[in-house]
Structure 1
Amino acid sequence: MSIRKAAVIDMGTNTFHLLLVELNGTGFKTIYKEKIPVKIGQGGISQNQIAPDAQKRAFHTLKHFKNLIDGEHIDQVFAFATSAVRNADNGPEFVSQVKEDLGIDIHVISGDEEAQLIYEGINFSGSLNGQVTLMMDIGGGSVEFIIGTSEEVFWKKSFEIGGQRLLDAFHYHDPILPEEIEKLETYCQEKLQPLIEAIQHYKPTGLVGASGTFDTLTDIYYASMLQCKLTGQHAFELPTEDFERIFDMLKSLNREQRLKIPGMIPMRVDMIVVASCLIEFILRYVPVEAMVCSYYSLKEGVVFRLLEKAEL
């Protein structure tokens, strides 16, 4: 059986991920993975720009990733950029510069493509079953929602209301003020009307959150229970009651205090409050006893496609 190697670079608005894998038949083995809080959306996303400092951080990280990829002699490299780059006026210039300087071809994907890859990643993790489920991935620039089952997607949409955008627009005080939460909820109510209508139509009974914020929330939950996540497990349950407890704590603390919460990842400390506000809003429409948190998302969706030998 032929074993081939591949590299996936997921250039999110908040975090850049590198995943180096060996593809073997229907499965894959992770050779190496790394995530770096590049925050490419910081200082510019609300003006549709990639700020100069953010570009420097991006180039530095991509050069580091390229060295690791070359060290493993991998020539199949799949790099994807999402919300921050696709909406930036200087995004095409940035993509060209990366190609010229580093030889990395960046595929700037649409919100629709992003949602589809996230669905494929979530499904690959084994987080879905026969029930109709609402899936969500809270990025720094956009949030993707998908309604479907393990068999098919009924509805999907990307909304440009990610954590960095919500942070810039609503989280001025620390701890966040009740009126800031209220404004954020009113904004979500207005922006997410197509989602609310889709929920009313398809009536999902399950909720799955992918990576990022959901990883951190489950880390905090497991730490509070004095438990560890099992290595090799790709889906974790977070009881809604425990999410509510964690959310109450997050919105009452400032940044310094949040950093001290067991399980908190420093790169998530800023966006986790507004991201949790969004989850709280969604729970009003999909009231579940527990949400499932999928460790797999976009980059694993790409790996799934490579295994399926589909076009990328």
Structure 2
Amino acid sequence: MNNENLIKKATALSLEKNPNMREIAAIDLGSNSFHMIVARIVNGSIQILSRLKQKVQLAKGLDENNVLDQEAITRGVNCLALFGERLQGFNPENVSVVGTYTLRSAVNNDEFLRQAQRVFPYPINIIAGETEAKMIYAGVSHTQPESGRKLVIDIGGGSTEMIIGDNFEPLIANSRNMGCVSFAKHFFENGEITPQRFEQARRTALSHIADLAEPYKSLNWQHVLGSSGTIKTVHQVIAATLDPDGIITAGRLDFLIERTLKFSHFDELKIPGLNDERADVFVPGLAILSAVFDTFDIAQMRYSDGALREGVMYDLDKNFQVINIRQRTAEGLAEQFNIDRPQAERVSKSAVRLAQQFQDWQASEFAEEMQEILLWAALLHEVGIVINHKNSQKHSAYILSNMELPGFDKEQQRLLATLVRHQIHHFHNDEIGQFARYTPQDVLTLIRLLRLAVLLNKPRQATETCAEISLKTDRTLWQLNFTHHYLANNPLILNELRMEQKALIEIELELNFT
């Protein structure tokens, strides 16, 4: 085949368009950093193609008269030129760009827009604070597993957003002019840290949101989630110094404040988990977060990696709003990897049937959550077959470990991958690893349940459904009882059970069956 024919074939392939595929881009022009996400929508699921972030610190260029200086404008325009290179060929209707606190505050924002237009051909929408808050809530709601009523906090470079909502619907949303960059500029001049400066920043933040305390607390909430740089950094520092779960509590926050105030300058801040790039905004961010915790009497907060840019992205397509985000994610994966759905459903039904009979969870407060992760593991356990049937369990685990899975937090995603990794063949307890949220015994239980569900459906479409399977457990010993003659009539399953029995003996576990 000559080169000309090869080129023709390559061109033909490149021109083939999946009618169910759409590439989109969402850009957040924040007061501290500019963020861009490029993604594609395939079979109802969003796949992230790239993320770009650049520290611009627009808010540093805003003077007391709200005039944005030329240096800050240039930094922002140069970043947009970089983003524009990546977006060449994108249809404007598939690109959404929002400007936040600094651009809406700058009296000369038209000058920024004029200069940006020379290098960036897409429209920039400078949004109001309440709109920003609602988009942040959408980004969190579309990417995190919590359902029900949520309080969402986002501390940005120039403003802080506070939202309470039910599922995808915000009930109350506010934005206040206090951010880690603006507070660094006003309260920590030249990067100097003192307890007095910190307390002044904290009290100012308290005064900005004091009027929100009662209306917010009267709505109640089941979950508190925090997004963006400051809260991400606090989460990372807690994970590196206190607890790998990274959960932010009032006590842990006080510990970090006490430790941070031992330093006298931003340049001296050397704390595990603190990125050097965030050192100059970490302390003012802590002051604002401390005020937020005090104002709303927050017990604990979990970090959300979904924020404004994800909200902008999901706003580009109105078809994403479903109550069960994990279901949307799982269905997208099933479509993408061409999963054998009847087999996935057979395995999931067996897993649920067995799990309902198990009562001895060590962390009972996570029992429902763990059983739901087991269900998704059963539905997605064969995603790796698309790579190769040999060692497909390893391929499945790799895919589920490394893909973006909206609706699953990092701990849940790791548990999901761990379960499918150990669905077949021999394994050892020390291969499972430690979890911050789940006990070793519970993780082992989930693995055993999935392994049984998989082997009970090994004949695939030839699987004969057993009218009744009874599971009785006593520490390490599990007893399976089947209806009369079932095992005699299903020699393949009988053989699989015997092999599982031998594999479990190696790790001092027992399985009996009749």
Distance 1:145 1:115, change over 3 A: same
Structure of higher RCO (CA pairs closer than 8 Å, 6+ residues apart): 1
Q: TM-score scaled by structure 1?
A: 0.87
**1:29 maps to which of 39, 47, 54:** 47
2:182 corresponds to 1:169: no
2:204 corresponds to 1:193: no
Root mean square deviation, CA, Å? 2.3
SS at match of 1:47: coil
Query: How does 1:30-179 map onto structure 2 within 5 Å?
Result: 30-70=48-88, 73-75=89-91, 76-130=94-148, 132-172=149-189, 174-179=191-196
SS at match of 1:275: helix
Partners in 1 of 2:239 and 2:138 — Cα distance? 26
Query: Residue 297 of structure 2 aligns to which amino acid in structure 1?
Result: P
Q: Which has the larger radius of gyration?
A: 2
More strand by share: 1
2:288 corresponds to 1:278: yes
Residue of structure 1 equivalent to 2:35: 17
Distance 1:25 1:48, change over 3 A: farther
The answer to whether the Cα contact below 8 Å between 1:45 and 1:165 also exists between their aligned partners in 2 is no
Question: Residue 225 of structure 1: CA displacement?
Answer: 5.6
Distance 1:106 1:309, change over 3 A: farther
SS at match of 1:42: helix
2:219 corresponds to 1:208: no
Distance 1:176 1:124, change over 3 A: same
What is the percent sequence identity of the aligned residues? 24
The answer to whether the Cα contact below 8 Å between 1:144 and 1:156 also exists between their aligned partners in 2 is yes
Distance 1:127 1:281, change over 3 A: farther
Residue of structure 2 equivalent to 1:264: 274
Structure 1 unaligned spans of 5+: 230-235
Range moving further from structure 2, 117-126 or 41-50: 41-50
Partners in 1 of 2:222 and 2:189 — Cα distance? 35
Query: Residue 96 of structure 1 aligns to which amino acid in structure 2?
Result: R
Distance 1:206 1:244, change over 3 A: farther
SS at match of 2:316: helix
Residue of structure 2 equivalent to 1:233: none
Distance 1:291 1:153, change over 3 A: same
Partners in 2 of 1:45 and 1:158 — Cα distance? 20
Partners in 2 of 1:85 and 1:241 — Cα distance? 36
1:95-121 deviation per Cα after TM superposition (whole angstroms, max 9, x unaligned):
133124421211111111101100000
Partners in 1 of 2:177 and 2:209 — Cα distance? 10
SS at match of 2:76: helix
Q: TM-score scaled by structure 2?
A: 0.54
Distance 1:69 1:151, change over 3 A: closer
Partners in 1 of 2:211 and 2:223 — Cα distance? 19
Residue of structure 1 equivalent to 2:318: 308
The answer to whether the Cα contact below 8 Å between 1:135 and 1:145 also exists between their aligned partners in 2 is yes
Question: Residue 178 of structure 1: CA displacement?
Answer: 2.1
Residue of structure 2 equivalent to 1:223: 240
Query: Residue 16 of structure 1 aligns to which amino acid in structure 2?
Result: F
Count residues with an aligned counterpart.
299
More helix by share: 2
Structure 2 unaligned spans of 5+: 1-18, 321-514
Question: Residue 239 of structure 1: CA displacement?
Answer: 4.1
Partners in 1 of 2:177 and 2:211 — Cα distance? 13
SS at match of 2:225: strand
